[in-house]
Every structure is written in structure tokens, then in C-alpha cells.
């Protein structure tokens, strides 16, 4: 935003695209594909996500929450993404869920000019 309150649309677009396309891929690779399975067993590459137990699910979600400012929203979203991965065994579905969440949040942030959520 400029000093007169006008939006700099190319910057908004880059921020929204990053939040919608890049962040979900990187966060789901780390929080769910790696960390949640690693908590289950250190040889995480041999852990089927559908076999992850409650302890790994809850602990990885808790750590996800600590990395975000809106704790309740992060807890709900992080748990939802983890459950999608555990139920389906398909990381791409949790990436899509995360991308839809971030994309919708980005639209809301711009529309309502609630920049603190970005």
C-alpha cells in the first residue's frame, strides 16, 4: 500500500500467489510429510501417513500452531490438513486444502484491508 492508501497491485498479486501456491507446498512437505511422520518414527520415509497415531498428529499440529500468530485458526486448520493426510494418505489433498484456505484468506485480507493477517 502506498502512503495515500492505494494498493500496489503487482505486490498484492505476488503476495497472494506466494501464499496460495508456494506456502502450502512447503508447509505441508515440512509439517505433515516430514515432521508428523518423523514424530511417529524417526525412519519417517517408511511411515505410511494412514498409520500415524494421535500423538504424532497432535504434537505436529501443536508445533504448527506455534509457528503462526492466530493460534486457534492455526490449530483448526493444521488439524484439518493433518487429518486429510492421515485419512487419505495423499499429501496433495492437504496441499490443496491449505492452498484454498490461504487463497480465501488473501482475498479477504485485500477486500477488508486487514493487513495484519498477512
Residue 5 φ/ψ region, left for φ over 0, alpha for ψ in the -120 to 50 degree band, beta for the rest: left
Which residue did the predictor score with more confidence, 39 or 116? 39
68's CB contacts (< 8 A; 6+ apart) are 74, 78
E strand or H helix at 114:
none
pTM of the model: 0.91
18's CB contacts (< 8 A; 6+ apart) are none
Residue 76 to residues 12, 61, 65, 72, Cα–Cα distance (Å): 26, 9, 9, 6
- Contact between residue 97 and residue 32 where contact means Cβ atoms under 8 Å apart: no
Instruction: Give the pLDDT confidence score for residue 118 in this predicted structure.
Output: 81
- The mean pLDDT of 47-72, rounded to a whole number, is 97
Instruction: Give the pLDDT confidence score for residue 116 in this predicted structure.
Output: 86
Amino acid at each position: 500500500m502506498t502512503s495515500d492508501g492505494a494498493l500496489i497491485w503487482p505486490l498484492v498479486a505476488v503476495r497472494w500467489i506466494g501464499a496460495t501456491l508456494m506456502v502450502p507446498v512447503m508447509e505441508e512437505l515440512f509439517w505433515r510429510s516430514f515432521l508428523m511422520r518423523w514424530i511417529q518414527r524417526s525412519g519417517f520415509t517408511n511411515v505410511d501417513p494412514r498409520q500415524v497415531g494421535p500423538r504424532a498428529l497432535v504434537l505436529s499440529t501443536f508445533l504448527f500452531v506455534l509457528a503462526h500468530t492466530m493460534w486457534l485458526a492455526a490449530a483448526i486448520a493444521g488439524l484439518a490438513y493433518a487429518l486429510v493426510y492421515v485419512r487419505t494418505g495423499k499429501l496433495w489433498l492437504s496441499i490443496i486444502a491449505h492452498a484454498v484456505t490461504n487463497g480465501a484468506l488473501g482475498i479477504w485480507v485485500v477486500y477488508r484491508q486487514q493487513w495484519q493477517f498477512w
